[in-house]
Amino acid sequence: MNYFLYFVVGGWMVAVTLGMIIIPKILLISYKKRLFDEPDKRKVHTLPVPRLGGLSFFPVILISLCLIMGIRYHLGFPLENLNANQILCEFLFFAVGSMMLYLVGITDDLISLSYRHKFLVQILSGLLLVCPGEWINSLGGLFGIYEIPIFLGIPLTLFVIVYITNAINLIDGIDGLASGLCCITLAVLGTVCAVREEYIYSLLAFTAFGVLIPFWFYNVFGNAQRGHKLFMGDAGSLTLGYIISLLVIHLSMADTKNGERMNTDMILAFSTLIVPLFDVVRVVVHRLREKKNPFLPDQNHFHHKLLRTGMRVRTVMVTILCVSLFFIGFNWILAEKIETVWLLIIDIILWTLMQLTINYGIKSNQDKKLDTLL
């Protein structure tokens, strides 16, 4: 076993431990101060639940990352095939961008902010990721496009950052869904980075994964009546979306030179996000077709539709996680066998067929309810 992996595992363990210590304290304070997410007609939960679980994410990730990197540096282990100054620059800009989104998320969880304010901060945070040179410079032959000039690559990168961050935020609609999808995504991205021997990025992914584990158990199995349940809120979803954006963009930059088809790592990175990314497109198109504001919430997300088929909340969560795992495995198997554009087309067809099947399930469930009333 490569000794660098011990640091990654150590970071994961520190994050899990800190999460187990801090999250119950957040629960206690939230219930004492009555900092609740109140139920309404758009939400699935029926009891007031604290939504400050994400308050623990950024501090735990930062402490775990800095502690392990400090120990590693003190013991004399070098950065693996990476420019130390470049990594430090990226980390500092990333830390500032994460802090900005974290603070905006906390503010939104406590007093609510308009989507315009959140978009602005997301764009500014995205610019901070781009500053040290992390931008998508190639599509690897997707749609016949290879190398991308900087004046197109930077706007595309900003769009991807805002897109991913909001997709994670919007999919956070039922217990365990957003955190479960992020666990899968971070585990896959962290493993890919470890295989590439880019252990700093792997450490970032696994520390984020680590703090999610205790949160996921409180979120899914916690009892709201006993004060053991909480949501991640925008502080959590925005932080996670930003971290995942950095990892996806980093893997999209690597080994995508002019004339080469898209690499497997880039395909795998985006495959982990197919469910939230495709769901955002479907929801926005539906809202525009209904002449509604695409930025205002409704009950037409993937999980809402599955609930309308008659599924229980936990069954919906497990189903969507399985769908995500299916797309990851499916795309990983076919990544080297067919052109990327055809793989994307197949994914879209499969997603569309899935939505049509769910629509049929919704109609059948409505017919059953109507028959019962009659």
Instruction: Please tell me which residue, 64 or 135, carries the higher pLDDT value.
Output: 64
User: For 133-173, how does the pLDDT look when each residue is reduced to its tens digit (9 = 90+)?
Assistant: 888 888 877 777 778 888 899 999 999 999 999 999 999 88
User: For 202-251, how does the pLDDT look when each residue is reduced to its tens digit (9 = 90+)?
Assistant: 999 999 999 999 999 999 998 877 878 899 999 999 999 999 999 999 99
Does the pLDDT at position 256 exceed 50?
no
φ and ψ at residue 198, rounded to 5 degrees: -110, 75
pLDDT score, position 258: 41
Does the pLDDT at position 374 exceed 90?
no
Give the H or E element holding residue 190: helix 177-195
Residues 298/292, Cβ–Cβ less than 8 Å: yes
- Specify the DSSP class assigned to residue 260: P
Query: CA 263, 209, 6 angle in degrees (round to 5)?
Result: 85
Write the CB contacts of 302 (distance below 8 Å, at least 6 apart in sequence). 171, 275, 279, 282, 320
pLDDT score, position 80: 60
pLDDT score, position 367: 77
Binding positions: 169, 234
Among the ranges given (60-74, 78-92, 108-122, 191-205), the one the predictor scored with the smallest mean pLDDT: 78-92
Give the H or E element holding residue 49: strand 49-50
Label residue 10 by pLDDT band (50, 70, 90): very high
CB atoms within 10 A of CB 144: 7
Nearest to 174 by CA among 36, 308, 358, 304: 304
Does the pLDDT at position 254 exceed 70?
no
Label residue 257 by pLDDT band (50, 70, 90): very low
For the chain, what percent of residues have pLDDT higher than 90? 60
Round the average pLDDT of the chain to a whole number and report it: 89
pLDDT score, position 46: 60
Does the pLDDT at position 259 exceed 50?
no
Nearest to 7 by CA among 204, 182, 189, 248: 204
pLDDT score, position 82: 62
Label residue 283 by pLDDT band (50, 70, 90): very high
Binding positions for Mg(2+): 169, 234
Write the CB contacts of 274 (distance below 8 Å, at least 6 apart in sequence). 324, 327, 328, 331, 347, 351
pLDDT score, position 299: 83
Decide: residue 251, CB within 10 A, 0-12 exposed, 13-18 middle, 19+ buried: buried
The tally of CA atoms less than 13 A away on the side-chain side of residue 198 is 17
pLDDT score, position 294: 81
Decide: residue 204, CB within 10 A, 0-12 exposed, 13-18 middle, 19+ buried: buried
Q: What is the mean pLDDT of residues 168-185?
A: 94
Which residues are paired to 50 by β-bridges? 36
Instruction: Please tell me which residue, 14 or 29, carries the higher pLDDT value.
Output: 14
Does the pLDDT at position 18 exceed 90?
yes
Q: What is the mean pLDDT of residues 244-261?
A: 72
Q: What is the pTM of this model?
A: 0.93
Among the ranges given (75-79, 187-191, 327-331, 359-363), the one the predictor scored with the smallest mean pLDDT: 75-79
CA 105 to chain centre: 15
Does the pLDDT at position 79 exceed 70?
no
φ and ψ at residue 50, rounded to 5 degrees: -60, 145
pLDDT score, position 5: 86
